[in-house]
């Protein structure tokens, strides 16, 4: 499953990331991690303090990747509207859901300040980025002055996360796409 050149700690981290996305924290047993990583018994405890330490490393890596992908769209070329449109339309595995958003539904992650921190930080970062772009659009006269940048940022995030839920529930990415189109029609720049 993994490249022969990938170190054991890397295989453990990548396996944990995938399993957390698929099964959540409780469903990600040390045995499943070791099997998926093709690692020997005791490898996890040799390289990490235990499952919570490995999970935290995996969640941080997932958060970093999500931020990098979002930043690529949000800081790319174009008007504020086009950058929000690029973020909403970027490549996603909609039916799998958001690897960070899904962790907010995991009671063990939510109950742990340490495991929840990278999730909270990523959501806060996204909200700040989006609010800044909305403010930029208001300054340029592209968006109405009456828009509250924080509220619009929260609405964009809610549309994305809710779109994942609706798509997974229906078994089709169409629900996600419909929500995105609806939000973009509401944000369409002023003439």
Confidence of residue 146 (pLDDT cuts 50, 70, 90): very high
Whether the predicted pLDDT of 4 surpasses 70: no
**pLDDT of 34-55, one tens digit each?**
999 999 888 888 899 989 999 9
Cα-atom radius of gyration of the chain, to the nearest Å? 19
Our CA dihedral for 91, 96, 98, 100, rounded to 10 degrees, sits at -130
Q: Provide the pLDDT for residue 44.
A: 87
Q: Provide the pLDDT for residue 109.
A: 94
E strand or H helix at 9, and its extent? helix 8-23
Tokens (6 digits) for 115: 């495991």
Number of other residues whose CB lies within 10 A of the CB of residue 17 = 21
Which one, of 85, 66, 1, 6, lies nearest residue 35 by Cα? Answer: 1
Contact 8/47 with Cβ under 8 angstroms?
Answer: yes
Confidence of residue 99 (pLDDT cuts 50, 70, 90): very high
DSSP state of 140: T
**pLDDT of 60-84, one tens digit each?**
999 999 999 999 999 999 999 999 9
Whether the predicted pLDDT of 3 surpasses 60: no
- On average, the pLDDT of the chain sits at 93
Q: How far apart are CA 55 and CA 27, in angstroms?
A: 12
Dihedral sign for Cα atoms in the order 23, 127, 151, 173: negative
């Amino acid at each position: 499953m993994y490249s022969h050149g990938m170190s054991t700690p890397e295989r453990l981290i990548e396996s944990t990331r995938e399993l957390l996305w698929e099964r959540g924290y409780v469903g990600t047993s040390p045995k499943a991690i070791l099997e998926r990583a093709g690692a020997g018994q005791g490898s996890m405890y040799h390289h990490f303090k235990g499952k919570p330490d490995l999970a935290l490393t995996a969640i941080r890596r997932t958060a970093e990747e999500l931020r990098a992908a979002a930043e690529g769209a949000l800081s790319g070329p174009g008007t504020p509207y086009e950058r929000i449109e690029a973020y909403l339309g970027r490549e996603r595995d909609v039916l799998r859901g958001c690897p960070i958003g899904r962790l907010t539904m995991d009671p063990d992650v939510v109950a742990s300040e340490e495991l929840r921190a990278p999730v909270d930080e990523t959501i806060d970062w996204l909200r700040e980025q989006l609010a800044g772009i909305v403010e930029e659009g208001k300054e340029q006269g592209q968006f109405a002055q009456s828009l509250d940048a924080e509220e619009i940022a929260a609405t964009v995030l809610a549309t994305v996360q809710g779109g994942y839920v609706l798509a997974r529930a229906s078994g089709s990415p169409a629900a996600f796409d419909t929500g995105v189109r609806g939000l973009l029609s509401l944000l369409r720049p002023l003439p």
